[in-house]
Every structure is written in structure tokens, then in C-alpha cells.
Structure 1
Amino acid sequence: MYVCVIFLNVLKIFDTLNKDKNILFIRNLESKLDFELTTMRTILIIGAGRSASSLIQYLLNKSVEENLHVIIGDLSLALAQKKTNNHPNATPIALDIFDENQRRNAVQKADVVISMLPAHLHIEVAKDCIVYKKHLVTASYISDAMQELDEAAKANNLIFMNEIGLDPGVDHMSAMKVIDEIREKDGKMLLFESFCGGLVAPVSDDNLWNYKFTWAPRNVVLAGQGGTAKFIQEGAYKYIPYVNLFRRTEFLEVEGYGRFEAYSNRDSLKYRSVYGLDDVLTLYRGTIRRVGFSKAWNMFVQLGMTDDSYSMENSENMSYREFVNSFLPYHPTDSVEIKMRLILKIDQDDIMWDKLLELDLFSRTKKVGLKDATPAQILEKILSDSWTLQPHDKDMIVMYHKFGYVINGEEKQLDSKMVCIGEDQTYTAMAKTVGLPVAMAALLILNGKITTPGVQLPIRKEVYLPILKELEEYGVVFNEQSMPYVGYNPDKVFS
């Protein structure tokens, strides 16, 4: 519409000029405007949640030079409108992903579709992209259902880029860059460890847990569930069941930011095939937290508060104190506090106890307010009272890779570290490191720089080299340090 207004104003200005010259100018201008309108490329973003802030901002900032029209679809039209901020090259729409006609109409208008929906909802969008021959970009892990579309995507010369956020995403790209460089020097990989975590920035670290929710709180509460952690160390397979997960941690040091710990991710072994590390001796992936978090979190695990498999009776009217007491043995005289300390074997002057008190777990007045809620849902509600990012808060992303390798008979190690600090509650480091790679991949696909079709993740040079380079312009920089290789078994003794 704004193009039409400009066009009409031009007509008025030239109304008094020579008629023949006026007509010629108008025809030339009309031809130019028609060309611009027909060549404008459209990107559809489905989902305008917290992870989409930096993604939308990036594409709108690029919209003029790249001739982009960005459609932002969300169930909440108000949210989509807020994210577009009245930008002339953006169109906010109300989009119900379960409304097939509405969804398909939106997909048809796009050249590239970006789905920022929960992972299990991508598949219907992906099927529409096959039907209407549209490229697709998501930040989520490739599901079995998504992988089944690989042949159809290739047959239609479509790129379905997945796992292109932070973790997965930036971790894949930064890892493959170094692994490929080592292989190009005829090196052989001995060890690969990768750690990542979304944390609160030091300037906003104001609670005893040294943690706030920077991403989906539910994922934090359920972390580590659904299977035993599996990895390999010095050629030996290792397993950690969920009940022990938060007491088996690795320690890391990041210059300028201090010490961290990391607990194991669920299945590190699958990355042998992803990265081509079938013969590697050590392969471990973990989630980063500040030292002491895992030990404290283990209290909730041992009590059963992270269980999401059943609903609690009368949860809506339950106080926080009653919720806690539900997991403690009955005693006619002992208080909830005493029973809690006894069962967890913690003293009154223990920092673990202070951490529990800080969450106001024993409040008689605060109500759960959730009907038929699971323990995990209730715990999430309680933690959200204390761990929600405030408008002035800044978050922090820490990623740490360790590469052990042998080259020309000499064993070496390279550590690669990245720290990114967010701006505020909206433009978080998490939104930046998830959203920017998604946006950059979409633009590279649109511009014909990424050409390999099919369902894929970003482990090819045509993907990771330009994206990692551009990310550096936005402060997402990996600092590499070489050192002697030690590994976990310097004396070569099997255990």
C-alpha cells in the first residue's frame, strides 16, 4: 500500500509538467514499481515467541537491501504486530497452525518458510512445504517424521534445514568447522566434548542458584528425563541413569567468567555418525550450569518433584507448603522444614537449605493454582516466581568445545569457547544465538548460496562457513586455544 501512495504523490507532482514527458516518466516509473513488486521475496515466520525477536529484527533490517517481505504469523495477532513494529516490509497475521486452510494459504505466499513452533508441530508445516514447493528452516532436532520427508524434499529440489539454532545449531557448525580443519591436515580425532548452557549474566546474577529461566522453563524442569545418559570415555561406554545424573558433573573454566559445571546430555553416542567420529575414543555432550546448581537440583529429583507422569489431587488449591509435604513422610509433630532436612540430610546452616528457603517453598499462602497439574508443572510454577528474567536482566550463553586429536604422531588439544551476553529481557543472548542462524540460513537459501536439497542439519561448509563468519559481526565469536593433549587416561590404563 505504501508503494501505491508514493506512486499517487508522484502523479500529483508531475501533473503540471509537459504532458508527453509526464506520460513517459510515469510509464517508466510504473514499470520499475511493477518489477520491484513482482521480484520481492517473501519469508514466512510461523511463531513470534521469545526466540523469534532477533530473527525478526535481522530480517527486517535486511529487508530493503535484500528486497524482502516478511510475514509474521502467530496465534496472537497482537504479539505478531508487536514484533513487526509497523515496519513497512512486514505483515503480521493471525495464524492458527491447526487451521489447515489458514496455514496453507500462508505457506503458499512464501518463498521460504521458517517454523519457530514447538518441535512436534513442524511436521504439518513441512508437509505443506512439500505440496507447495517451499524451502523450510527450523531450529529443532530432526524427528523421524521429518526425516521421512527427505526423498520428497530432494525430488522437489527443496532445502529443509533443521537444527540451525544454538544447541542444536551453532554447536554443530562450530564443531564441524574445527573437525574438518583437523581432517584436512590429515589429523585423527581422539576426543570431542561439547558443552552449552543458557545462564543469567553476571550483572544480573542475584540469587543463590546463580540461574534464571532464559528459555522454555518446562525443558529445564524435565532436563535429563526420557532415557539414560550415554557417552564414551577412552573407548569405554558409560551410562548415567536419571537418578544419578546431577551428581556426575564435569568442571569447566572460562576466562573472565569463572568456573562452571556440566551434566551429561541424554545421548552423546548418536553424534559419532553425525560428525563422522565413529572411531573417536571420547565423545561427551553436556549442559552447562554454575557450580553448585546440579547438587541443589538433585534435591528436587530425589524428592520426585520433577516427575511429569501423573497429576496430583487437588493441585489447584494446594499451597506450596502442601506440595512439598506431599513428598515427605507423615509425622504427627515434625514440621515440613524438619522433615525436609532429615530426608535430604542437610543441616540448617547448609547453603542447600538457603537455596530452598529462597524459593519460598514452605509458604502457606501461595497457591499452586494449576488444575490437575503434575509435580513437574507445579515445580515450574514455583520456580518461575523467582527465576523469571526481569525487564532489566541480561542472560548469557556459554559454549565450550574440546577437540583432542593426533597429527604427525603428536597428540594435541584445542579448546574453543564462546560467551554471548544478552541486551535485555526481549533481545536475549538465547534469542540472538537461536534466531540469527535461522535467519541467516533462510537468506542464504533464498539467495542460492545453500543449494544441497533434502532434510539436513548444518554440517556442510556451504552452510557453516558463511553463517559462522556473519555471526562474528553480532558478537558470537569462538576463541580457540591450543594445548597439550591429556585426555582421561594419560597412563593408557583401561578402566
Structure 2
Amino acid sequence: MKNILIIGAGKSSSFLIKYLLEKSDEENLKITIGDISTINADKLINNHKNAKSVILDVFNTEQRERIIKKIDIVISMLPARFHIEVAKDCILFSKHMVTASYVSDEMKVLDKQAKEKGLILMNEIGLDPGIDHMSAMQILDKIRNKGAKMLLFESFCGGLVAPESDNNLWKYKFTWNPRNVVLAGQGGAAMFIQESTYKYIPYHKLFRRTEFLKINDSNFEAYANRDSLKYRSVYGLDDIPTMYRGTIRRVGFSRAWNIFVQLGMTDDSYTIEDSENMSYRDFVNLFLAYSPSDSVELKLRSYLKIDQDDVMWEKLIELDIFNPNKKIGLKNATPAQMLQTILEDSWTLQEADKDMIVMQHLFGYELNGEKHQIESSLTVIGENQTYTAMSKTVGLPVAITALKILKGEIKTPGVQLPITKEVYEPILKELENYGIKFIEKEVSYLGYNPNYVVG
């Protein structure tokens, strides 16, 4: 019998738990789900005989260690900053570990100890990061095996609302952690390289410099990820002339989101006095000049030069952001936290809503004096509010990886990313059984994206 501990039963865990429950008899698995509350875990387990939920406070060292000692592998679905304490326990008690989060510097330090103990600490094995790494490396390895020279690599991913549930002007709803959406792009300039020239986009310009994309006959836009350059060495692309990673949204989203950025509503660095008693309207007025006569609406339109018949204005009205009666209700909240509260009113997935994951890679290379380009695209539609495309594309790679580690099919020890053939080939193959399959086609070589827009 193999014992699996899942820490965290949030939005991305539904398909992860479902997969392991379905495999539990065949693979002789016992699954323990630990969380600060067992409500969601119990719902997902649904009285399955091979699973149980337990209260687990990750900050309670004695409790955490007692539970980890009894299992064979830990799947941590915690926020990224909390993985390290779990990882240290895994090293101490000789347990494998899997996470979907970006590998941290603190995690990398554990590599030597993990190798000495023959342990696998697999990171970045969700969607983005995760499926993007595996699908990109699979094609990159094929291109390099031909002896070709890489000229371009662009990668885009986004969690969106599915067309059948797309019923607001923003064409967007929260499909993962809303806080991460509100804070997206912060923490430094976006960095990438284009035609051998380094480019930097400061946060206050990020959402007005986008690329237009066509994926499976649908139009999208993308803004630059914060650091597109850090994977050059990981992917073996140190000398590539063009490398760009971006986040996908529906066309028009970024221009409208830029309103919040320019006003300062996405700032998370300070708290607002008396925030719990403020109305939505009060919140907007915080960022506008005082006027004894002009309304909040007039001041905002004047400041941002938005016409009353502009769709940008209609998007703000749709959010009910000028309502004087709705209260924020958060004490000592930052502007970003207050904005998140307002947006969750409008952008939370309803029970029958479906979300959508869209990903696209572009590979440009030169072979025998000729330039070629490959376009590889993925679209996944969720089932409902619980079994989302986001939870499917994050949770299934995590679950498949954990099981393959337990079965000895993934063997290489250490702090890892899923960039080796040993990892990506079997996982991508199994993901195809669940409808997670890329459509790959040869297209004319274009070099850098000609639809790049500077606003």
C-alpha cells in the first residue's frame, strides 16, 4: 500500500483528487487530504473508502511532522511561499514531494540533500508552469535532434471563461486565485529579448503593450510575463535571438485593466484607513482629486479621458464600482485587496459556468539554410465551477507525476523541473487520454510577432 498526502484542497485540487481516487484500488493507494478546514476535502472525497480528510495547519510543526512521517509522498497544493517547510520535512523523513509552483531559491538549496537521500522534489508540474515546460521541451528536443538552430521561442497561456459562459463585457471571470490576478505583473519590469535586443516594460506600461494572437480561429491578446529570460538556460536557449512569454486575455481586457493600474487600485504596499466601512464608490474616490461639485464619475472620466459612450466606461459601470451602498467590509485592507473584493462580486464562476485554458507556443528555427516555424496550441474547456479546466490542467499533471514517482517510473532524484524526456514523455502521453492534447502545425516563418502593439 502507498500512502499519499495532499496538503491543500483548494480550487486546483478537484481533478487531482478525482484522478487518485479513481486509481486507488488498482494502484493500492491510501489518500489523506490535509487542510485547515475539511469542508471542501470532504466534498471531493465523497465518502470514498480509500481516502480521508484531516485538519492540518501547515504552521503547526508538530502536527505537520506527525502526519508526514506516516506517508510515502507529499503533494503540496499550498501557496508557493509555504512549500519550503513541507519540503524540509520531506528531506528529514525521506519522503518524495510534488508541487505545481515555481521552484524557489530556498527549494533549490535542498537539491544536494534530496540527491543524497534518493528523493524526488518535483516542482513546476502544473499548467503554467508545468504543461508549458513539458510541451515546449518535447518540441525543442525534436527540433534540436535535427541539428537545427533555434531562432525564436514564444509561449503564451491564459485561464479564461469559456465562450458559452462568457456573459460580461470584460470577457473574464476568476478561474484561479483572484489575488494573483489583481497583482499580476508587479514586482519589477517585464523582461524579454526580441531579435537579439533586450526589452523591458515597466509595470505602469505593461497592459498597454500587448500582442494579438489567433488560436484555433479565436482572437486573443497577451501581455508580457515578468521575466521571460530566466528559462533560457533551463530550456537550453541561451543564445536564442527572440524569447517571450506572455499571459493570454480576450481582446480589450488589458486596455480596460490599465484603468485600475493607472489609478493605483492594484497597489498592495499600504493599507487604507477605515477600509471596512467604505463603499465601492468611496474606494474609487480615494484615487481622484477633491472637487466640491463634480461627481466621482465625472472626475474619473476627466482624469482618464474616457468618453461616456466608450466601452471602457461601460465595463466600469458593469462592475457596479460606483455603488454608494455596497461596503468593502475588509479591515486594514490594501487597495489591491479592496479591488479584489469588488471584482469577486462580478467575476466569480457560477455553479454551471465553464472556464477555458488556452496555451500556444511558437518555435522558429533554421535548418539547412531555410527558416521554419511551428505553432503548437492547446484549448481545454472545464466542466463546471468545481471541475474546471484550470483544476484539470494543474491537478492532473501533479497527480500523474506523483503516481509515477511512487511506481518508480520517474527515478532521477533531486529538486527538479519537468524538462527531461523521462518526465515529459509519459505525462504528456497520459494527459492526451483526458483531452489535454496540443495541435501542432507548420506555419510560415514570421520571426517576431508582427502584431505586437505598443500603446
Same fold, judged at TM 0.5 (above)? yes
* Structure 2 match to 1:400: 360
**Deviation, structure 1 residue 489:** 9.2
In the alignment, is the contact (CA less than 8 A) between 1:123 and 1:145 conserved in 2? yes
* Structure 1 match to 2:306: 346
**Deviation, structure 1 residue 307:** 0.4
**Deviation, structure 1 residue 177:** 0.2
Change (3 A) 1:489 1:85: closer
Query: Which of these residues, 346, 352, 356, is aligned with residue 386 of structure 1?
Result: 346
In the alignment, is the contact (CA less than 8 A) between 2:211 and 2:449 conserved in 1? no
How far apart, in 2, do the equivalents of 1:51 and 1:67 lie? 24
How far apart, in 2, do the equivalents of 1:215 and 1:315 lie? 25
Name the SS for the 1:91 alignment partner: strand
The structure with more radius of gyration = 1
**Deviation, structure 1 residue 405:** 0.4
**Deviation, structure 1 residue 100:** 1.2
Alignment of 1:181 with 2:142, yes or no, is yes
How is 1:431-446 mapped onto 2 (pairs within 5 angstroms)?
A: 431-446=391-406
How far apart, in 2, do the equivalents of 1:305 and 1:196 lie? 25
* Structure 2 match to 1:423: 383
Name the SS for the 1:253 alignment partner: strand
Q: Deviations over 1:290-333 (max 9, x none)?
A: 00000000000000000000001111100111110110011111
The RMSD of aligned alpha carbons is 0.9
* Structure 2 match to 1:251: 212
* Structure 1 match to 2:252: 292
How far apart, in 2, do the equivalents of 1:489 and 1:174 lie? 20
Alignment of 1:483 with 2:437, yes or no, is no
In the alignment, is the contact (CA less than 8 A) between 1:225 and 1:242 conserved in 2? yes
Change (3 A) 1:489 1:244: closer
How far apart, in 2, do the equivalents of 1:280 and 1:249 lie? 21
In the alignment, is the contact (CA less than 8 A) between 1:80 and 1:94 conserved in 2? no
Letter in 1 for 2:319: L
In the alignment, is the contact (CA less than 8 A) between 2:150 and 2:364 conserved in 1? yes
How far apart, in 2, do the equivalents of 1:205 and 1:476 lie? 22
In the alignment, is the contact (CA less than 8 A) between 2:34 and 2:54 conserved in 1? yes
Letter in 1 for 2:139: V
Letter in 1 for 2:137: M
Name the SS for the 1:400 alignment partner: strand
How far apart, in 2, do the equivalents of 1:457 and 1:279 lie? 21
Letter in 1 for 2:103: I
Larger helix proportion of the pair: 1
Letter in 1 for 2:114: A
In the alignment, is the contact (CA less than 8 A) between 2:152 and 2:448 conserved in 1? no
What is the percentage of aligned positions where both structures have the same residue? Answer: 69
How far apart, in 2, do the equivalents of 1:362 and 1:91 lie? 46
* Aligned residues between the structures: 450
**Deviation, structure 1 residue 254:** 1.4
* Structure 1 match to 2:52: 91
Q: Deviations over 1:172-192 (max 9, x none)?
A: 000000000001111111000
* Structure 1 match to 2:179: 218
Query: Which of these residues, 41, 44, 56, is aligned with residue 5 of structure 2?
Result: 44
Q: Choose between structure 1 and 2 for higher RCO, CA contacts under 8 A separated by at least 6 residues.
A: 2
Name the SS for the 1:199 alignment partner: strand
How far apart, in 2, do the equivalents of 1:386 and 1:327 lie? 22
In the alignment, is the contact (CA less than 8 A) between 1:265 and 1:286 conserved in 2? yes
Q: Deviations over 1:367-422 (max 9, x none)?
A: 11100100000000000000000001000000000000011111000000000000
How far apart, in 2, do the equivalents of 1:79 and 1:410 lie? 54
Alignment of 1:469 with 2:440, yes or no, is no
* Structure 2 match to 1:31: none
What stretches of structure 1 of length at least 5 have no aligned partner? Answer: 1-39, 491-495
* Structure 2 match to 1:128: 89
Name the SS for the 2:399 alignment partner: helix
Letter in 2 for 1:338: L
* 4+ residue runs over 2 A deviation: 77-80
Letter in 2 for 1:300: F
Letter in 2 for 1:197: G
TM-score by length of 1: 0.90
In the alignment, is the contact (CA less than 8 A) between 1:41 and 1:111 conserved in 2? yes
Q: Deviations over 1:189-245 (max 9, x none)?
A: 100000000000000000000000000000000000000000000000000000000
**Deviation, structure 1 residue 84:** 1.2
Name the SS for the 1:65 alignment partner: helix
**Deviation, structure 1 residue 102:** 1.2
TM-score by length of 2: 0.98
How far apart, in 2, do the equivalents of 1:484 and 1:262 lie? 21
* Structure 1 match to 2:453: none
* Structure 2 match to 1:66: 27
How far apart, in 2, do the equivalents of 1:201 and 1:489 lie? 26
* Structure 2 match to 1:116: 77
Letter in 2 for 1:370: L
